Structure 1
Amino acid sequence: MKRVALIAVGSFNPPTIAHLRMLETARSHLEAIDTHVVEGIMSPVADSYNNKPTLIKSKYRIEMVRAATKTSDWIRADDWECTRPTWTRTIDVLKYHRERIQKKFGSDVGLMLVAGGDFVDTFPRILPDGSNLWNPSDILKIIVDFGLIVLTRDGSTPLNTLDSMPGFSEISGKIQFISDEVCPSAVSSTRLRAAISAKKSIKYATTDEVIEYIQENSLYQK
């Protein structure tokens, strides 16, 4: 039986049930096709990631991810990426964790990136300074050397995005697209931040532990 670990990267600003369900759904999909998932990792981005003006400090975001995964017996928070002094490209995050995973579970264990469809839609994005958010060669290595599982989401068009990128339509078949038929959700970190700022309830949109941490630290207040 093939063995893999799963990793989700992102801001987690804050983590939501959609982030957790994404990993859970990916594991169910893989185990249904005779692939054993040994571990799940949630890796928040570092503070130096300058593409999100609403990003709060990683010291809060990593603690929220720890709170969100507190009751999971297979998903854990990892602070390696968010404690680095500079922004780390996703391909380098994957290389680091694959090495750690193989030391922990064996050299035959692979690592796959799990992301939402909106994540794939950022592949061709150009930053305000004119540079590419993603290096095309990094995307190719992620898909071919690691593996990418994409959870489809309303409003995202990952297949169209790949088709629009030169050469990438040829490897779109290597990406596994899944949907959460048990708990389809449009909840997002952006919506949670807006709700908190408007003093609306976010209960059941994330875990109680995350809500308690947000309240204790007065996060996302106007």
Structure 2
Amino acid sequence: MQKLFTPKRVTYSATAAAAAVATIASLWEYTGTVSADGAAEPLATKAAENMVTLTKPPRGEVPLPTDKLSCKMRASAPRNAVVLVCCGSFNPPTVMHMRMVDLAGDELMRRGYDVWGAYLSPVADAYGKPGLAPAADRVAMCRLAADDESARRSFGCSLVEEQLVHVSHTLTNPALDMTMVYEWEARQPGYTRTLTVLRRVESELKNWWSDGTRNSGAELTPAGCFPSNIDQDQAGTLAHPLMPQSKPEPPLVRAMLLCGGDVLESMAIPGVWRDPDVILREHGVVCIAREGTNLEQLINCPGSILYDFRDRIIIVYDKVGNSISSSKVRQELATGRPVRYLVPRMVLSYIYQKGLYGTSRNERI
């Protein structure tokens, strides 16, 4: 069961996202400093009370975010635990990326899956795509999109409505808040295969669970997630320092690939993916497709890799017919056209603050 989200006041402004420049502090080295309002200044003008120095941590230290992980205690047996992993450029992240997470999470939970959370994994600079913004900026924008998701959730449901959602066996939370950003792939010096990312997420989850249960009982496990033979009311005793503790076995949490229809179609083309069969067999795919496409025909065609693993593919059709894409957003930005309802608000503010995608040539929308 997810934690109740306590509504709190959130203020948005054109410069609110400027603080996200400091997000890069955890990713890449910066030669100057960042002031409280996000403006870069030379080191010589640094005011200690207003400035933070950006440093670059060792490459290997890229922790997997766990702050939004949660278990659904009423997930149907055998409680297939999954996290969604969406790999891509996110150049920039759009509202469609966030909607993909919503649609996939909703569909999986309706099918009885125990969806712990979702991760956006931006590609590294070495991907070499023309017009690709720096990885540090794309990671920062993805984080802002995830923060915007949390803020919207606080406004989207009243506390009473959320309580009704959580105690009901049938209702689905209308404002899921489970998107996190895993920057490990973005930090790599070369191109990283999707399979490698999926396996790393699973490994990190297993290590996190083991470390948490070893160090502090059940405190670091996902909200509401305890061994099935322990009543939730008694679960708090697991973390009591004077109680004898038995380390729960780490659950099998599958990292499931979240993608669009074009990505799934490319898996059926020989030579495009190195090991699509391994991804499908070990992880599975949930695909968000536009209504009107016929992916069922593709996966039910004998002789295709998708046919061989059709039971590992879940297709979710977006009945709204949304055609928003990062490339279209970049085109609109470059020509000075408004994109206010195509990307999360704080992401748009960040884009203008940094002058990305040709916005330095245009006035703020």
Q: Same fold (TM over 0.5)?
A: yes
Question: Which structure would you say has the larger Rg?
Answer: 2
- The answer to whether 1:97 aligns with 2:97 is no
Tell me if structure 1 keeps the 8 A contact 2:83–2:117.
yes
1:211 maps to amino acid: L
Q: Which amino acid aligns with 1:95?
A: R
Q: Report the Cα distance in structure 2 between the residues aligned to 1:167 and 1:149, rounded to whole angstroms.
A: 16
TM-score with structure 2 length normalisation? 0.54
- After TM superposition, the structure 1 = structure 2 runs for residues 58-73 of structure 1, keeping only pairs within 5 Å, are 58-71=135-148, 72=150, 73=177
Larger CA deviation: 67-76 vs 9-18: 67-76
Task: Say which of 10, 18, 32 aligns to 2:96.
Answer: 18
Q: Secondary structure of the equivalent of 1:152?
A: strand
What is the Cα-based RMSD across aligned positions, in Å? 2.1
Which residue of the partner structure matches residue 129 of structure 1? none
Q: What is the CA–CA distance in structure 2 between the aligned matches of 1:77 and 1:164, rounded to whole Å? A: 37
Q: Does 1:196 align with 2:274?
A: no
2:302/2:308 contact within 8 Å kept: no
SS of 1:201's partner is: coil
Offset from partner CA, 1:53-99 (integer Å, 9 cap, x none): 12121011111101111133311111100110011000011110111
Q: Structure 2: state its 5+ residue gaps.
A: 1-78, 151-176, 210-249
Q: Does 1:206 align with 2:206?
A: no
Residues 154 and 186 in structure 1, CA contact (< 8 A), matched pair in contact too:
no
2:268–2:306 CA contact under 8 A, matched in 1? no
* More divergent stretch after superposition (32-41 vs 190-199): 32-41
User: Residue 86 of structure 1: which of 174, 190, 198 is its match?
Assistant: 190
Listed one character per residue, the Cα deviations across residues 149-169 of structure 1 (whole Å, up to 9, x for unaligned) are 011126866556654974442
Aligned equivalents of 1:155 and 1:34: distance in 2?
26
Q: Is the 8 A contact 1:40 1:74 kept in 2?
A: yes
Provide the rounded CA distance (Å) in 2 between the counterparts of 1:54 and 1:161: 32
Gaps of 5+ in 1: 127-131
- Report the CA distance between 1:219 and its aligned residue: 0.3
SS for the counterpart of 1:149 is strand
State whether residues 289 and 316 of structure 2, in contact with CA within 8 Å, keep that contact through their aligned partners in structure 1.
yes
Name which structure has the greater RCO, CA cutoff 8 Å, separation 6+. Answer: 1
Question: TM-score scaled by structure 1?
Answer: 0.87
1:46 is aligned to 2:124: yes
Partner of 1:30: 108
Contact 1:123 1:133 survives alignment (8 Å): yes
Structure 1 residue 108, shift from structure 2 partner: 1.9
- Taking every aligned residue pair, what percent have the same amino acid on both sides? 29
Distance 2:124 2:303 in 1: 28
